[in-house]
Chains A and B, each alone.
Chain A
């Protein structure tokens, strides 16, 4: 019976690849995202300068051949800081998406499968979380545990839970009345088994698209939190905190604010393009929502 499940790329892998290569937004997004990821990975083995040393005498040098993006108020190389900062941004956003999916998807699919009071409870739970903007929960979490990357992850992750729960629930609800699910029920499969075998595989593309979008939002949220001092803490560099440090020195060294900001814009842009492209590719029907 399982061969009755619908797949989103009916004409096979080769045709999918061909369509992918023709999708400009997907390709540009993919290239940018891979580039940022590569920079982050590279920073584990090599950066132009060692940022654990603080050569204060070299502080606030404008961009030059030796320091392409200049140096900060401690004399650290900004390019190196941005490279290592990429790690932090990606890690925070990725784990936050993981938390959102890991909790939200089971909640959403269970709510869809069982309905009734369980569905109601899950949705009310969603409402409560939704009522707390990520920034507010981050402020409260940090007030208790102190600032740090982990708390930023938790705050952003919590906000992701209802997002994924809603997407998973809506996707699952649309599938339950479908013929192949009915058939599985007639064959005597339980709700849990149907969810795992038939529902989940068919909402993967939905979740993937949402995941990419939430990833991009996570990068922005992390930058915002570390800008107000609630994210990663020194000596770990983060793009948002670099902007905070830059703000007070903008009149003498505007370049301090330029490069970390561009890093955020480029990364988020890449992920958004990738998400749009994926949406077009994986489920052409969704295209019309935009």
Chain B
């Protein structure tokens, strides 16, 4: 009895404490949750997206940048001119820009950075962005001239990428631990495994940030993320691992849920070079066997947007090809029979760690078993996936989200892990590379999408959703992810 009374009193106390929290009157600090911890904070050396989710536009800036709508805007370069042959870019830089350590930013930093990114010792994970640069020349302290060996249609966009940010020779070697950039936030400290803290840069050259302090807290899964959000420990997730708890959060007026687009094409990748997958009918059978609705419901809580080729529905030039292979197991069995596999065959499905792969994989395996393909599921870690699937092509099928923007060109790569070779497709890509006219580019991109769908190269599943969840009073968060970034320069709390 006594214990019971104590218990109810304590409950009541808990309730009081919950409601007695002071109202946040225009607060100036923000804690964001993120799933993966960056291994280090040098945006020019390392693939993990988490590095740039923390640093892009906050700590580091490039010559150009992408804005909240995914459009390219000037950044450290205030203007530029392009030569008529499209090979020489001359950038005029902002004056009065300082790095966080107090050193001045000028054209020498741009030269240093780009030479370092394309040099032999470069460990930049997007080294190909710089592959066409043949020379970087300092004209004067505020003018830099970049010469390319051929016109690159996307060059200004490429320079807006998180891997192309400008660093200083004085601090480049220590950026992994103490990143030094030109951005509106300065690195403060990093509690490994737990959180990374940034503070406002008082000497920022542009419009100062409204937040005093931004904390990126590492929260690996839904089990942890949901309570962290509900308790107010974390006020925003650019991409929340909410899983099946999302309806609960959407119903809560304290939070805003914004489902946005990423550049992540989630596909059932197929080893096109390995029998029986070298047979078009077999690949088409697989495409017919996939029930995208069930896969999207089970693997992304119903949020993913279905795709019919390797292209984001949010990007210009998208062609809707989802109707090409409707869910039709009978047709799939028929095609398998025509291909010479009336009783199906055995195959493996390697699944990397993310939930979309592990959960989607179970559903896909069951669907393929229904048409007679006896699928064995093999869960693999990323290291294993990269070494064996990606590098050695040692796989039958795998599920993976290709998160790089505008990456349809990977299908033209010679020894890419799909082992797909179609001269017609390669010709379209080569044409695209040289074309700067926008209408013509979109036309070519449409052709490319159709070829991939015709060849049923992979099972095209869905575009990975960005599940943005944040406090209803928070303004200025990016709804979409054209690149992995959490630009906090214009984020503020409403009263």
Contacts and interface: CB of A to CB of B under 8 A. Distances in A.
- A–B direct touch, CB within 8 Å, in complex? yes
Contacts of B243: 248-249
Contact of A54 (B227, B294, B380): B294
Contacts of B297: 56-57, 59
A94 interface: no
A251 B245 contact: yes
Contacts of B381: 143
Interface centre among A56, A233, A247, A252 (most CB of B within 10 A): A56
A73 B378 contact: no
Nearest to B241: A248
A10 interface: no
B18 interface: no
Given A56-B294, A56-B297, A252 B359 contact: no
Given A56-B297, A59-B298, A146 B223 contact: no
Contacts of B223: 247-248, 250
Interface in A233-280: 233-235, 247-253
A251 B242 CA distance: 11
A248 B222 contact: yes
B248 A52 contact: no
Interface in B350-387: 358-359, 361-363, 365-366, 369, 377-381, 384
B30 interface: no
A249 B380 contact: no
Given A73-B359, A253-B244, A52 B369 contact: yes
A274 B222 CA distance: 39
B247 interface: yes
Interface centre among A143, A229, A233, A251 (most CB of B within 10 A): A251
| Interface range on chain A (Cβ under 8 Å from partner) | 20 to 34
A74 interface: yes
Given A54-B362, A56-B297, A252 B379 contact: no
B366 A146 contact: no
Contacts of B362: 54, 74, 234-235
Nearest to A236: B377
Contacts of B212: none
Given A56-B298, A56-B363, A74-B298, A248 B244 contact: yes
Interface centre among B221, B243, B358 (most CB of A within 10 A): B243
Contacts of B196: none
Interface string A208-242: 00000000000000000000010001110000000
Contacts of B359: 73-74
B268 interface: no
A60 B298 CA distance: 11
Contacts of B379: 146-147, 229, 233-234
A146 B223 CA distance: 25
B84 to A, nearest CB: 56
A252 B294 CA distance: 20
B43 interface: no
Nearest to B367: A54
Interface centre among A147, A248, A250, A253 (most CB of B within 10 A): A248
Contacts of B227: 251
A233 B377 contact: yes
A11 interface: no
A248 B298 contact: no
B289 interface: no
A234 B363 CA distance: 11
Contacts of A247: 221, 223
Contacts of A73: 244, 298, 359
A13 interface: no
A146 B298 CA distance: 24
B32 interface: no
Given A249-B243, A249-B244, A235 B384 contact: no
A250 B243 CA distance: 11
A74 B361 CA distance: 12
A247 B226 CA distance: 11
Interface in A1-25: none
Nearest to B369: A52
A64 interface: no
A53 interface: yes
Nearest to B244: A249
A56 B299 CA distance: 10
Contacts of A251: 226-227, 245, 248
B320 to A, nearest CB: 23
Contact of B380 (A52, A146, A253): A146
Interface in B206-221: 221
A218 B294 CA distance: 36
A57 B248 CA distance: 19
Interface centre among B241, B244, B247, B359 (most CB of A within 10 A): B244
A133 B363 CA distance: 35
Interface centre among B365, B366, B377 (most CB of A within 10 A): B366
Interface string A132-156: 0000000000010011000000000
Contacts of A146: 378-380, 384
A235 B298 contact: no
Contacts of A233: 377-379
A252 B222 contact: no
Interface in B243-277: 243-245, 247-248
B55 to A, nearest CB: 29
Interface string A27-58: 00000000000000000000000001110110
A74 B363 contact: yes
A249 B294 CA distance: 18
A143 B380 CA distance: 9
30 contacts: A52-B366, A54-B363, A54-B366, A56-B297, A56-B298, A56-B363, A57-B294, A59-B297, A60-B244, A73-B244, A143-B381, A146-B380, A147-B379, A233-B378, A234-B358, A234-B361, A234-B365, A235-B365, A235-B366, A235-B377, A248-B221, A248-B222, A248-B223, A248-B241, A248-B244, A249-B222, A251-B245, A251-B248, A252-B244, A253-B244
Going nearest first, the 6 A-B pairs with the smallest beta carbon separation are A248-B222, A56-B294, A247-B223, A54-B366, A248-B223, A248-B243
